[in-house]
Structure 1
Amino acid sequence: MPQPQHSPVRPVPALRPAPAVARTDAYLESLQLLERLHRLLQDIIKDEFERLGRADLTPVQALLIYNLGGSEVTAGELRTRGMYQGSNVSYNLKKLVELGYVSHERCDMDRRAVRVRLTHEGQEVRDRVTELFARHAAGLAMSGVLDDPAIEEVNLQWRRIERYWLEQIRYIY
């Protein structure tokens, strides 16, 4: 019986770092993707609240409520946690107070600062957003999207980029 012919073994080329131009292009693509993902996230939240018959909140306000969570914080603390500009936080917090989703009171130590926290209605909104995110995480996990590369590795990379950007901002000032 003739022996099967094996193809010659070829050496695997060593992995080399990508050229700088390719790396820059990949970085720029990541930035564009991140921006699109953020807009899509807002669209998803908008659609969810429209399905629930809640047209009184913008997606930004719903995310602000979600990020406020169970904490009692100042607007400045909330700004450092999320993706909000200073005037955006103030405007949206004012609207959320008017709508009854957030309550506020002056700080005892610094009367200029205002501490905010969710009302019962705000907690219900936070719970809806939490449920939406949990449904999406389950669907993505079932599809395998969160596995290759592992979402934890992706998050680690984004935290490194965040740290680099923060260092750049501090260096400027």
Structure 2
Amino acid sequence: MIADSIYIQDGPLYTSAGVTAGIDLALKMIEDDHGRNLSIQIARKLLVFLRRPGGQSQFSAHLAAQIATEDRIQELQHWILDHVDEDLTLNALGNRVGMSVRNLSRVFLKETGETPADFVEQARVDAARRLLEENDLPLQRIASHSGFSNPDIIRRAFMRRIHISPNEYRKRFRA
């Protein structure tokens, strides 16, 4: 079982995580049966992204930032989203909100259900995804603009989070 996939196929059975994920699943099925070109034409007519991969996580850092109820954690999440290319180590984040690393880690996990490092990585992946969709910058520059120190690290984060490489992501979602 893949807990947060947008759709899955198990033999002849398919299921999606909801209505919009159902559109992605339908585009995948059209592509499988009739080819990528028809799937792309339909996606454009529907004004939706070209099919997202089924293993893509439903998680969005921007949505997760709405979960925390503790003001300092919520403000920190929003600040992280706006500053993905800055120093986002635990020490830097703890200093930003006036908390020790240990206390920040404990409170952040309690409030959000994830570690600060997981949130930072997802925020950086989201930023990189937008850059890959919107321009032709080389991967080194996209990595830098989204807070990753080098292309290898961004590749590993993409494989962990959305199960495809940044280059494959760009091919699928470039406007």
> TM-score, normalization: structure 2?
0.28
> TM-score, normalization: structure 1?
0.28
Structure number with the bigger relative contact order (C-alpha 8 A, sep ≥ 6) is 2
